[in-house]
Structure 1
Amino acid sequence: MVTPSAEARLRELALMLPPPPTPFGAYVEAVQIGPLLFLSGMLPVVGHVPSYVGLLGQDLSVAQGYDAARTACLSGLSAARAQLGSLDRIRTIAKLGVYIATTSDFREHPKVADGASELLLQLFGETRIPPRIVLGVSSVPLGMPIEIELVLEIEH
């Protein structure tokens, strides 16, 4: 059985990518080095407007954190598509980092990070699901709860 392309899966799942994110400071959203595309930290924003603000375990629930991770990942995919022209150029996801702003006693990091991981699984399939690192941090830029890091291997 042939795995559908990421672009075809987007259509099948009726997912719309947000507009490609633009920097909040002096940096670029993506840079390609050889076959790797490095994305800047992706936040849960649409058009520079935060979808969520606050800490997990204090202001936001696990479900809201899951959605924030998914939203940030969609922004990352939008940045990748803007750089590459198509998500179908992504050969594999080399790394997923999920940084979660939490209270010191929060323990549900994996459930929150699955918002990004499960989206990537849906779009790219089991053979391309990435390794990941999930960290709880005291803050993320602009008071948002999630920052996603993606490194992608691309087809030339």
Structure 2
Amino acid sequence: MSIEERLAELGLTLPEAPQPLGSYTAVSEAGNLLFISGQVPLVNGKMAFTGQVGRDLGIEEGRAAARATALNVLAQISRHLGGVDRMERLERIVRVEGHVSSADGFYDQPAVLDGASELFAQVLGDKAGHARSAFSYTQLPANAAVALVVIASLRPA
């Protein structure tokens, strides 16, 4: 099943890939690797999940933020490759760095980031297996609840 078919089966469409929040590129390609700059839970151009998980948001809302952020990662890959129909060039997600804005005493960052990892698995199947690190911060840029930094590998063109 293609990535496009999996998205349709899940009732998902990729959003418009968000523009960078500063002076950098959203995706940089080096050899067969894609480096996707930090993505945040923008939905329709607006920050959909703000504040700290464990204070302003519960774990389920944090997971939803991670899921929305993962969709933005996939949108960046799709735009870079020239469309969702060309995402078959994606070999796998190699590494995910998950950054969670967390309240003092909140230690369930991995559970929050499972929202992203599970979305990748649903959409990408065996291309989703990745190494992952979870980081906790008191705040993230634009008051985002979650940010993801991703490295992916590509098949030769």
Q: TM-score band, normalised by the shorter chain?
A: over 0.9
* 1:93-137 deviation line (CA, Å, top 9, x unaligned): 110111000012002112100110000111122464111111111
* 1:31-89 deviation line (CA, Å, top 9, x unaligned): 10000011010000024310011001110111110000000110010011000123221
Which of 51, 54, 74 is the matching residue for 1:54?
Answer: 51
Which of 22, 26, 48 is the matching residue for 1:25?
Answer: 22
Aligned residues: 153
- Whole-angstrom distance in 1 between the partners of 2:94 and 2:117: 12
Counterpart of 2:76, as a letter, is A
Residues 81-120 of structure 1: matches in 2 within 5 Å?
81-85=78-82, 86-120=86-120
Give the SS at the match of 2:91: strand
What is the root-mean-square deviation in Å for CA atoms of aligned residues?
A: 1.2
**Residue ranges of structure 2 left out of the alignment (5+ in a row):** none
Counterpart of 1:102, as a letter, is S
Mark the CA change 1:130 to 1:40 in structure 2 (over 3 Å): closer, same or farther: same
Residues 1:70 and 2:31 are matched in the alignment: no
Give the SS at the match of 2:38: coil
Pairwise CA distance, 1:5: 2.2
Contact 1:7–1:88, Cα closer than 8 Å, also in 2: no
The 4+ residue runs of structure 1 with deviation greater than 4 A are none
**Length-normalised TM-score, structure 2:** 0.93
**Length-normalised TM-score, structure 1:** 0.93
